[in-house]
């Protein structure tokens, strides 16, 4: 058994878990954060993507104890209170989800993708970047649309904030 | 149309929980005292069980129980059944072999459940599962259906000689043979429809909870039809009487047919909960899903299509062998029969059709309905034949189709179906225009300059949805009726709950169904809630599959709304001292037409519950129930065009454009309908290009993970061009046809027609992977 201390969605948490416990199971079973999903056992589907110290990580590919000391954001911590994150809002507006199971991982991947492409995204880049996330419902059409739209919204927002600061 | 009413692109009400991590799937459920189950599964495709020793496993840390098939039998739990009776052409009933929820004497496929281990944690259960000692005597296995019916093949079930389950036919053999004999041209092909694994992203799961004090069971399960699950588990598997069994299908992460059936795991978890005295949860690993979810397709067909000198089809003869796997799953028998052969007329006038279907046991996972279920197989047969025939006859694929289109309705086909409405030329025209079909020759020449091979292919599909008139399916062997129920509860403050027997696992019912209510009463959509998926809340229902929730589920809601509206009008007429016929309900107000007299909607609702001043003899309350049984199937149809570009050096196929022009009848929410089409096309393209299910000769599934089974990813697909040209369905009050399966039905032949066009070959096996395409190009040289 190992002690695990993390900052999750802005809250310091700690627990004691079997050494073999994966981060995804620690989040789901110890912390009750069931928004992060398990869709496969080979780190292929991406339903479990969370942010670990600012980077998108498949939480099934990391032991909880390895993550100890990290700052983690899960789908539950993405919105700013009642206000949805622009990626969440775009998934809703553009019908980027159906059954909702892959959605948390998609949104966490998309958020990271947009952050890594401040110059903006095009369709080919979005499709290539989504290689680690599988969706069986949407055919990706509206997911791609939602990510492109969110990318634009966030770029506008960033420009707006830069203007205000100036 | 209001902004939230019928026809509006209303953003989904259910999305909030899914995009914030608030969805509630079975694996998210926690019950006090809950333990975790792991199934020990057969590593052999075919073997006798000689001995099961659970002593070591029972002594492992955290283990609560290790239970076997002998014990479940001793407790009187029944075998799994197939609920649709098919008779062979000699009149004998289908040969259904026994399927015990836990194997007793014999295992018949890799993944067959043998033992359940229950422990404090899943890790402990997994460790203990490895300590269960089972002695097997291996038997020879057979995985190919065409080989399984040959003499001397391994016998899988004692009940089915030579593994033949039934030998069934539909249509007029004599007339079809005569048509072929006298034809000006006959096109002949062997057509293989590859086996697929449905792969809903949420793995199957079950949580069984036996309450000793109440002698009552609760089952949380990943089901598309919780009421059917309860009915079948009560009536056939003897788990518990219906009043002692509650089945809840909460948020379900995709189904595509694979979550219709009642599998061994939910039965065993319920039984094990009573046996061990603790709630028992099981969640499948992905590899477990690959091994034990019902698979789809797996047909081999020999087809002859006859034409007269004017290129009109005169006859179609189809001989199909369908692989049903190791056991007959719940609806497995109807898929290659009444959901398949009845659609073999497609969009065409075909005077004579004959289909012969043999279904076969093999040592593979059970095969049942997967998105489209029988209809993709029929469409693939027909549309590959039409393409090949057009090439042989030297006419354009569009022209050959047009010449044979059915253009007047109703149209009775020779294979049961009576098409009620459609305009096949309209969808073909729309698709060709959207695809700039005329410009293809130029695009092909441009691609050739770059050393690439371009091809274009079309597919004109029809399907039968809205399953189905109960008396019709009953006469064809179905064990259930296929109506739907709805209850509309207007609360005293005017908010509304709709309880439906349909189940949403991605289809957006919470929005679409609410749009019907908003349209009817003009109340805000947020004041309407859709309740589904719980046998304690909804009285009875048949669930969601076969694109039936629009045509059947919503029709039941319409009927219930009719009753509520009629009663509300009576109350309003009484309160406003007006004639009932003059009352109109709009924008949340109940008005007397042509006057300024009105009441807010909520006051009528309130009046119904206070009951201080109701018309004489009227019962209080404003709540109505309806059951709707459809009068016919519905017939969505459309035309899909796929254009591919192939790199001959690597065999890689790029889909450069994909066009869908569908006729779904009236549409409630176009945004959701488009989403259904996108997803269906992706699955069809997956079948055509990527998804291959491979068993080796000994029955090991070689493609049992996402490392081996190629799921369509974002980079494999283009953005799709979708449109609709709709003819309302005359058979139901909303004029809707259904849209859930069309994409998966129409797309595979379009893709393969495009690839064979690009390569200049007659046929290529699905999935047309880069290796297959590359080898085909090399073989041609």
Q: Is the dihedral of CA B6, B7, B11, B12 positive or negative?
A: positive
Q: Report chain B residues whose CB lies below 8 A from the CB of A79.
A: 20
Would A142 be classed as within a structural domain?
A: yes
Percentage of chain B with pLDDT > 70?
Answer: 100
Q: Model confidence over B580-592: pLDDT tens digits?
A: 999 999 999 999 9
Of the partner residues B11, B251, B715, the one whose CB lies closest to the CB of residue A100: B251
Q: Model confidence over B556-600: pLDDT tens digits?
A: 999 999 999 999 999 999 999 999 999 999 999 999 999 999 999
Question: To probe the interface with B, which of A99, A143, A145 has the most B CB atoms within 10 Å?
Answer: A99
Gyration radius from chain B CA atoms: 27
Residue B457: the pLDDT is: 98
Based on the domain organization, do A64 and A117 belong to the same domain?
A: no
Residue B468: the pLDDT is: 83
Classify strands B164-171 and B353-361 as parallel, antiparallel or unpaired: antiparallel
Would A127 be classed as within a structural domain?
A: yes
Over range B178-206, report the average pLDDT.
98
Q: pLDDT category, B780, cuts 50, 70, 90?
A: confident
Based on the domain organization, do A70 and A108 belong to the same domain?
A: no
The answer to whether the CB of B383 falls within 8 A of the CB of B753 is yes
Based on the domain organization, do A44 and A99 belong to the same domain?
A: no
User: Cis peptide before B716, with omega less than 30 degrees from 0?
Assistant: no
Whether B202 and chain A come into contact, CB under 8 Å, resolves to yes
Chain B residue closest in CA terms to A106: B19
Over range B102-108, report the average pLDDT.
98
Residue B231: the pLDDT is: 97
In this structure, what CATH number is given to the domain that contains residue A139?
1.10.150.120
Number of domains chain A contains: 2
Q: pLDDT category, B45, cuts 50, 70, 90?
A: very high
Q: Model confidence over B408-450: pLDDT tens digits?
A: 999 999 999 999 999 999 999 999 999 999 999 999 999 999 9
Chain A residue closest in CA terms to B721: A141
In the predicted structure, residue B641 carries a pLDDT above the cut 80 = yes
Neighbours of B568 (CB within 10 A): 22
Over range B610-629, report the average pLDDT.
97
Based on the domain organization, do A28 and A58 belong to the same domain?
A: yes
DSSP code of residue A98: S
Domain boundary among A77, A94, A124: A77
Q: Model confidence over B315-352: pLDDT tens digits?
A: 999 999 999 999 999 999 999 999 999 999 999 999 99
Would A48 be classed as within a structural domain?
A: yes
ipTM of model: 0.97
Residue B428, token pair as written in the block: 């073909």
B65–chain A nearest CA distance, Å: 22
In the predicted structure, residue B514 carries a pLDDT above the cut 70 = yes
Based on the domain organization, do A65 and A106 belong to the same domain?
A: no
CA B768 to each of CA B194, B457, B755: distance values in angstroms, whole numbers, following the listed order: 11, 14, 8
What helix, strand, coil percent values describe chain A, rounded to 5? 45, 15, 40
The answer to whether the CB of B270 falls within 8 A of the CB of B247 is no
In the predicted structure, residue B1 carries a pLDDT above the cut 60 = no
Of the partner residues B20, B287, B678, the one whose CB lies closest to the CB of residue A138: B678
Q: Report chain B residues whose CB lies below 8 A from the CB of A17.
A: none
Interchain proximity B714–A143, CB inside 8 Å:
yes
User: Cis peptide before B410, with omega less than 30 degrees from 0?
Assistant: yes
Interchain proximity A95–B672, CB inside 8 Å:
yes
**On the CB side of B757, how many CA atoms lie within 13 Å of its CA?**
26
Query: Is residue B445 helix, strand or coil?
Result: helix
In this structure, what CATH number is given to the domain that contains residue A8?
3.10.20.30
- Nearest-5° angle of CA B206, CA B212, CA B214? 100
Whether B410 and chain A come into contact, CB under 8 Å, resolves to no
The answer to whether the CB of B280 falls within 8 A of the CB of B208 is yes
B266–chain A nearest CA distance, Å: 19
Based on the domain organization, do A66 and A119 belong to the same domain?
A: no
Residue A164: the pLDDT is: 78
Based on the domain organization, do A60 and A27 belong to the same domain?
A: yes
Mean pLDDT of chain B: 97
Q: Each residue of B114-136: b (16+ CB within 10 Å) or e?
A: bbbbbbebbbbbebbbebbebeb
The answer to whether the CB of B596 falls within 8 A of the CB of B582 is no
Chain B residue closest in CA terms to A25: B122
Would A165 be classed as within a structural domain?
A: no
Q: Report chain A residues whose CB lies below 8 A from the CB of B119.
A: none
Q: Which of B674, B643, B669 is nearest to B656 (CA)?
A: B643
For B650-746, strand residue ranges (E) read 652-663, 721-724
Classify strands B106-107 and B47-53 as parallel, antiparallel or unpaired: antiparallel
B374–chain A nearest CA distance, Å: 20
Interface of B with A in 674-693 (CB under 8 A): 674-675, 678-683
Q: Report chain B residues whose CB lies below 8 A from the CB of A74.
A: 21
Domain boundary among A29, A54, A77: A77
- Nearest-5° angle of CA B190, CA B191, CA B195? 140
Based on the domain organization, do A72 and A109 belong to the same domain?
A: no
Based on the domain organization, do A29 and A53 belong to the same domain?
A: yes
CA B133 to each of CA B39, B72, B130, B284: distance values in angstroms, whole numbers, following the listed order: 13, 18, 8, 22
Based on the domain organization, do A122 and A66 belong to the same domain?
A: no
Of the partner residues A28, A91, A123, the one whose CB lies closest to the CB of residue B719: A123
Of the partner residues A42, A79, A100, the one whose CB lies closest to the CB of residue B706: A42
Residue A159: the pLDDT is: 79
Residue B387: the pLDDT is: 98
Q: How far apart are CA B405 and CA B384, in angstroms?
A: 16
Domain architecture of chain B: domains with CATH: 31-139+203-253+259-292 (3.90.1170.50), 143-194+294-395 (3.30.365.10), 420-465+632-781 (3.30.365.10), 483-628 (3.30.365.10)
Whether B720 and chain A come into contact, CB under 8 Å, resolves to yes
Tell me the pTM. 0.97
Q: Each residue of B42-54: b (16+ CB within 10 Å) or e?
A: bebbbbebeebeb
Based on the domain organization, do A56 and A107 belong to the same domain?
A: no
Q: Model confidence over B744-768: pLDDT tens digits?
A: 999 999 999 999 999 999 999 999 9
Residue A161: the pLDDT is: 80
Q: Model confidence over B355-380: pLDDT tens digits?
A: 999 999 999 999 999 999 999 999 99
Q: Which of B28, B37, B281 is nearest to A37 (CA)?
A: B28
Neighbours of B362 (CB within 10 A): 30
Would A128 be classed as within a structural domain?
A: yes
Domain housing A30:
2-77
Interchain proximity B201–A143, CB inside 8 Å:
no
| Residues in chain A, pLDDT under 50 | none
Based on the domain organization, do A90 and A72 belong to the same domain?
A: no
Domain boundary among A55, A77, A99: A77
Q: Model confidence over B674-723: pLDDT tens digits?
A: 999 999 999 999 999 999 999 999 999 999 999 999 999 999 999 999 99
Percentage of chain B with pLDDT > 90?
Answer: 98
């Amino acid at each position: 058994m190992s002690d695990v201390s993390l900052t999750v969605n802005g809250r310091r948490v700690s627990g004691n878990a079997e050494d073999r416990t994966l981060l995804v199971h620690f989040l789901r079973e110890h912390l009750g954060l069931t928004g992060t999903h398990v869709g496969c056992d080979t780190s292929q589907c991406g339903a479990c993507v969370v942010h670990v110290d600012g980077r998108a990580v498949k939480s099934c590919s990391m032991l909880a104890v390895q993550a100890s000391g990290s700052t983690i954001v899960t789908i539950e911590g993405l919105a700013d209170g009642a206000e949805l994150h622009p990626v969440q809002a775009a998934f809703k507006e553009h019908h980027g989800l159906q059954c909702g199971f892959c959605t948390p991982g998609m949104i966490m991947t998309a958020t990271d993708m947009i952050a890594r492409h401040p110059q903006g995204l095009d369709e080919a880049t979005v499709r290539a970047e989504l290689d680690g996330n599988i969706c069986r419902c949407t055919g990706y059409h509206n997911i791609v649309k939602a990510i492109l739209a969110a990318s634009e919204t966030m770029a506008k927002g960033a420009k707006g904030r830069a203007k205000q600061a100036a | 149309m209001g902004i939230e009413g019928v026809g509006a692109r209303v953003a989904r009400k259910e999305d909030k929980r899914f995009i914030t991590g608030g969805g509630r799937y079975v694996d998210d459920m926690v019950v006090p005292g809950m333990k975790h189950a792991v199934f020990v599964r057969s590593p052999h495709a075919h073997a006798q069980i000689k001995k099961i020793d659970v002593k070591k496993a029972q002594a492992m840390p955290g283990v609560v129980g290790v239970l076997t098939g002998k014990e479940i039998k001793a407790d009187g739990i029944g075998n799994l059944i197939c609920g649709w009776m098919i008779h062979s052409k000699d009149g004998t009933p289908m040969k259904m072999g026994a399927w015990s929820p836990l194997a007793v004497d014999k295992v018949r496929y890799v993944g067959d459940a043998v033992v359940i281990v229950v422990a404090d944690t899943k890790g402990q259960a997994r460790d203990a599962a490895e300590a269960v000692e089972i002695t097997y005597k291996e038997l020879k296995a057979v995985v190919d259906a065409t080989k399984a019916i040959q003499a001397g093949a391994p016998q899988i079930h004692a009940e089915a000689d030579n593994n033949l389950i039934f030998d069934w036919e539909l249509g007029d053999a004599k007339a079809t043979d005569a048509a072929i004999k006298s034809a000006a041209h006959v096109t002949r092909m062997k057509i293989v429809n590859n086996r697929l694994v449905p792969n809903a992203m949420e793995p199957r799961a079950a949580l069984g909870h036996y309450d000793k004090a109440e002698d009552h069971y609760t089952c949380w399960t990943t089901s598309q039809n919780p009421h059917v699950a309860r009915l079948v588990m009560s009536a056939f598997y003897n788990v518990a009487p219906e009043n002692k069994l509650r089945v809840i299908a909460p948020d379900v992460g995709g189904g595509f047919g694979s979550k219709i059936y009642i599998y061994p795991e939910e039965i065993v978890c319920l039984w094990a909960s009573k046996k061990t005295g603790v709630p028992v949860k099981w969640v499948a690993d992905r590899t477990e899903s690959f091994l034990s979810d019902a698979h789809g397709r797996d047909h081999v067909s020999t087809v002859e299509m006859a034409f007269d000198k004017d290129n009109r089809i005169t006859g179609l003869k189809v001989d199909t062998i369908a692989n049903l796997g190791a056991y007959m799953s719940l609806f497995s028998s109807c898929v290659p029969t009444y959901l398949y052969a009845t659609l073999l007329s497609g969009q065409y006038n075909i005077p004579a059709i004959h289909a012969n279907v043999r279904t076969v046991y093999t040592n593979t996972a059970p095969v049942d309905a997967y998105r489209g279920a029988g209809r993709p197989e029929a469409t693939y047969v027909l549309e590959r034949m039409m393409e090949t025939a057009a090439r042989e006859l030297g006419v354009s694929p569009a022209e050959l189709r047009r010449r044979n289109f059915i253009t007047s309705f109703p149209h009775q086909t020779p294979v049961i179906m009576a098409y009620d409405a459609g305009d096949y030329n309209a969808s073909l025209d729309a698709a060709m225009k959207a695809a700039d079909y005329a410009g293809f020759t130029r695009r092909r020449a441009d691609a050739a300059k770059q050393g690439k091979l371009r091809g274009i292919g079309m597919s004109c599909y029809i399907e039968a949805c809205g399953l189905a008139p109960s008396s019709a399916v009953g006469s064809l062997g179905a064990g259930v009726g296929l109506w739907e129920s709805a209850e509309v509860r207007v609360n005293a403050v005017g908010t509304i709950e709709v309880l439906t027997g349909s189940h949403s696992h991605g289809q957006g019912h919470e929005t679409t169904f609410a749009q019907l209510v908003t349209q009817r009463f003009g109340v805000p959509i947020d004041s309407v809630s859709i309740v589904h998926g719980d046998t304690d809340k909804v009285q009875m229902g048949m669930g969601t599959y076969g694109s039936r929730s629009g045509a059947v589920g919503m029709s039941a809601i319409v009927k219930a709304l009719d009753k509520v509206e009629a009663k509300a009008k009576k109350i309003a007429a009484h309160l406003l001292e007006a004639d009932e016929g003059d009352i109109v309900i709009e924008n949340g107000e109940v008005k007397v037409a042509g006057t300024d007299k009105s009441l807010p909607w909520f006051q009528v609702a309130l009046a119904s519950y206070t009951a201080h001043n109701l018309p004489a003899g009227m019962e209080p309350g404003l709540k109505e129930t309806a059951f709707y049984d459809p009068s016919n199937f519905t017939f969505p149809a459309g035309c899909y065009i796929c254009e591919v570009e192939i790199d001959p050096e690597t065999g890689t196929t790029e889909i450069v454009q994909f066009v869908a022009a569908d006729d779904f009848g009236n549409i409630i929410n176009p945004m959701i309908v488009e989403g259904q089409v996108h997803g269906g096309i992706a699955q069809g393209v997956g079948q055509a290009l990527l998804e291959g299910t491979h068993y080796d000769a000994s029955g090991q599934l070689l493609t049992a993970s996402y490392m081996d089974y190629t799921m369509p990813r974002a980079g494999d697909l283009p953005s799709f061009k979708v449109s609709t040209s709709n003819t309302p369905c005359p058979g139901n009050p909303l004029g809707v046809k259904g849209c859930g399966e069309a994409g998966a039905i129409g797309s595979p032949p379009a893709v393969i027609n495009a690839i064979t066009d690009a390569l200049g070959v007659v046929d290529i096996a699905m999935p047309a992977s880069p290796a297959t395409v590359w080898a085909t190009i090399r073989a041609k040289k």
